[in-house]
Amino acid sequence: MSTLFTPMPKTKTKKILGIDPGYGRLGFGLVKVQAGNLSAVDYGCITTSVKSPHAKRLLKISTDLKKVLKKHRPDLVAIEQIFFAKNVKTAIKVSEARGAILLAAQESGYQIVEFTPLQVKVAITGYGQAEKSQVQKLVERLLKIKQKITSDDAADALAIAVCAAQNNNLNQK
């Protein structure tokens, strides 16, 4: 286990849903914190069709995320803040998707925390300029995932959930 990881209090099992916001693909990853140990419960992607109208894609994101929330009932929802320097058109669409994500989580009554990509990288690797592949390998190791995570979006979502586990006292709600 990494020396960077500060375990959660050992009192109660907690579940954290990490979300990597996206318009075409939204990554999600559910992590369980139990007795100071982390494990992956579920991870994957919510996808939307490029052929669907914009509003329908946002509705699908919201509807499918609510299903994930209802299925897993996390104690906390952690979402990555977005940062785009170049493509304004993409930034707007992802921002709108992020709004649908925040609304779905809030309407469902979940506590929400947000982290920057830099905060996530530092929490996982100790280095803010770490490569995606480095973050993914460490997430797999921290969560004892034996197979390579095939989706970058799901791996990022798990990293966000691990970051939240390290940065939040989940006994408060």
Catalytic residue list contains 42:
no
Taking the domains of the chain in order of start, what are their residue ranges?
Answer: 14-167
Q: Is 80 a catalytic residue?
A: yes
Does 153 participate in catalysis according to the annotation? yes
pLDDT at site 157: 97
Q: Which CATH architecture has domain 14-167?
A: 2-Layer Sandwich (3.30)
Query: What is the model's pLDDT at position 83?
Result: 73
Q: Which of 42, 64, 75, 80 is an active site residue?
A: 80
Question: CA–CA distance from 157 to each of 57, 69, 83, 92, 114 (Å)?
Answer: 20, 14, 16, 20, 12
Among candidate residues 20, 42, 140, 152, the one labeled active-site is 20
Out of 131, 152, 153, 156, pick the active-site residue.
153
Structure tokens at 106: 């809030």
Q: Could you state, in chain order, the average pLDDT of each consecutive group of 10 residues for the chain (173 residues)?
A: 46 91 95 92 97 96 97 97 76 92 95 95 90 92 92 96 82 39
Q: Helices 132-142 and 117-125: crossing angle, nearest 10°?
A: 50
pLDDT at 173: 38
